[in-house]
Amino acid sequence: MDVMVGHEKIRALLLESIHPDAVSRLHAAGCVVESVSSALDEDELIERVRDVHLLGIRSKTQVTGRVLGAASQLLGIGAFCIGTDQIDLAAAAAGGVAVFNAPFSNTRSVVELALAEIIMLARRVVEKNDKMHDGEWDKAATGSHEVRGRTLGIVGYGNIGTQLSVLAEALGMRVYFYDTADKLALGNAKRCDTLDELLEVAETVTLHVDGRPGNSGFFGEEQFARMRPRSLFLNLSRGFVIDYAALRRHLVSGHIAGAAVDVFPQEPKGRGDEFRSELRGLPNVILTPHIGGSTEEAQADIGGFVANKLAQYVSEGNTTLSVNLPSVALPQQAGTHRLAHVHRNTPGVLAQVNSILAEHEVNIEGQLLSTRGEYGYMVTDVGATYSDVVLTRLREMEQTIRLRVLS
């Protein structure tokens, strides 16, 4: 069944080459979909988003308060990736815009890349490969090591960190981890109480932290200096969490024997644009263009998962796994109309809504309310007969942010 806003089809704008499975899923739901291969800057996005109901992005596009202020028709945003720090979640919630992401779909892809890079750095494959392409045969084993028996330090023990922990241990590595939250150690992994404690024991350090503002620049000169001599370093998390100039200094000095970096503070907008970094040209350094989760399998999973969440939200009002609105999923009964009500979380909203419905003799067939911080979300299934006055009264409530009639 087509998803509509009034008598108008839902319009979706998908940026940054989101997988065709997402386009197919939204098409199947009756949406009109426009797909763009690159990211858009703030001014470009403001121009393109004015009449859009659903917006799909990956990691480069920034959905700011200005963008959301211009997007008067916007109902939902899909982050076709793990992180959502590129979206002003508070402003989205304040406008009644639901945000969904894919917290698990590309975990395996990131973990496999991290493992591959750990092995390649330990074996100095990058340097050997460069020499071979230059025609030099260098078969020496000097500086090349097995990963079996070596110590891996994982900073950030979430979905990626924990899976990496298990697979690294299966390769014979000793695993230590540090996380600000209280996390259960898997297998034989050992928890470190401080980051310094981890840096003292780890021969390879890999970062898998989230994009919260407090993580900006947290790994810099002091932390690199504390790492063990001739250790390895990986960052597949966020570009702004490390000091790249400090990393370069420690690579050039030889204190750090090799590094792999997938994310950067400033990244090119589109494929083929020039990439600039102080890490270019250094030996035993693997630089990849933010492809940790970019496998065909992961992108297909993400495309279908997030697009399905968006389609369910606009057609059913389902907010399960939304990152900024309360979670509500109410099975709908045949022969009913569904009212989806995003509101400010103040006492008495439920009573006020039901009072309006009762006053106009509208029977409630099903209802579910959930709150999250400042906001509440209520889904109410009512009998097939009601007047426009009911909708007007609900929209005029002081607490109402957005009211939608879904069927």
Which ranges in 269-383 belong to alpha helices (H)? 296-316, 349-359
Structure tokens at 322: 């939304």
Domain chopping of the chain, boundaries: 1-106+295-325, 108-159+191-287, 326-402
Q: Annotated catalytic, 404?
A: no
For residue 56, which of 35, 72, 42 has the smallest C-alpha distance?
A: 35
Give the residues across from 211 on adjacent strands. none
List 25, 58, 108, 238, catalytic entry: 238
The β-bridge relationship of strands 8-9 and 4-5 is antiparallel
pLDDT digits (tens, 9 = 90+) for 225-240: 999 999 999 999 999 9
Give the pLDDT mean for 155-162: 96
Distances (CA, A) of 228 to 99, 114, 203: 41, 20, 6
Sheet holding 400-405, edge to edge: 364-372, 375-382, 337-344, 400-405
Q: Are 83 and 101 a contacting pair, CB within 8 Å?
A: yes
The vertex-89 CA angle with 160 and 97, nearest 5°, equals 115
Is 70 exceeded by the pLDDT of residue 6? no
For 154, the 3-state DSSP assignment is: strand
Residue 171 neighbours by CB distance under 10 Å: 15
Inform me whether the pLDDT recorded for 380 exceeds 60. yes
Q: Catalytic site residue 145?
A: no
- Residues 47-67 have pLDDT tens digits of 999 999 999 999 889 999 999
The class that CATH gives domain 326-402 is alpha beta
CATH no., domain 1-106+295-325: 3.40.50.720
Tens-digit pLDDT profile for residues 164-211: 999 999 999 999 999 999 999 999 999 999 999 999 999 999 999 988
Options 127, 169, 200, 267, the catalytic residue: 267
Q: To the nearest 10°, the Cα dihedral for 208, 150, 171, 252?
A: 50
Cα-flanking dihedrals φ and ψ of residue 371, to 5°? -125, 155
Query: How many angstroms separate the CA atoms of 253 and 86, rounded?
Result: 35
Catalytic residue among 290, 343, 393, 404: 290
The H-assigned helical ranges of 1-134 are 20-28, 42-48, 65-70, 89-94, 107-122, 125-133
Would you call 346 helix, strand, or coil by DSSP? coil
Distance CA 77, CA 100 (A): 6
Q: Write the pLDDT tens digit of every residue in 64-92.
A: 999 999 999 999 999 999 889 899 999 99
**Fold identical between 1-106+295-325 and 326-402?**
no
Rounded-to-integer distance, Cα 387 and Cα 337, Å? 12
pLDDT digits (tens, 9 = 90+) for 110-146: 999 999 999 999 999 999 999 999 999 999 999 999 9
Q: What is the mean pLDDT of the chain?
A: 94
**What angle (nearest 5°) sits at the alpha carbon of residue 80, between those of residues 344 and 25?**
95
Q: Which fold has domain 108-159+191-287?
A: Rossmann fold (3.40.50)
pLDDT digits over 307-324, tens only?
999 999 999 999 999 999
Alpha carbon distance 106, 159 (integer Å): 10
Has 402 been annotated as catalytic? Answer: no
Pick from 348, 344, 356: nearest CA to 382: 356
- Among residues 116, 209, 193, the alpha carbon closest in space to that of 154 is found at 209
Nearest CA-CA partner of 180 in 153, 213, 155, 161: 155
* pLDDT for the residue 1: 40
In 3D space, the residue among 284, 285, 264 whose CA is nearest the CA of residue 276 turns out to be: 264
